[in-house]
Amino acid sequence: LKQEQSMTTSKQNDGSNSIMINEIEMEAIEFAQSIVNDPKKGKADPLTKIERDAINYAKNLLRKFES
């Protein structure tokens, strides 16, 4: 998702006639990022504790395989 956002931003910055991300798509990207990333300080977590624990467990597994 971050790569997609940076690609869209770079296309917008170069002045070409690129396809813009509409508001609904942007909200979907932001929601997906909020699921993958921990909530920002002062923001409510959109996930339940069980869901957040499952994501953190999966992240830890990925880190072990990357090492």
The residue assigned the tokens 């509409």 is: 22
The residue written with tokens 């998702």 in the block is: 1
Q: Quick check: pTM over 0.85?
A: no
Nearest-angstrom CA–CA distance, 52 and 45: 9
- pLDDT-derived band of residue 1, with 50, 70 and 90 as boundaries? low
Distant-in-sequence, close-in-space partners of 45: CB < 8 Å, separation ≥ 6: 38, 39, 52
- Between 52 and 39, the more confident residue is 52
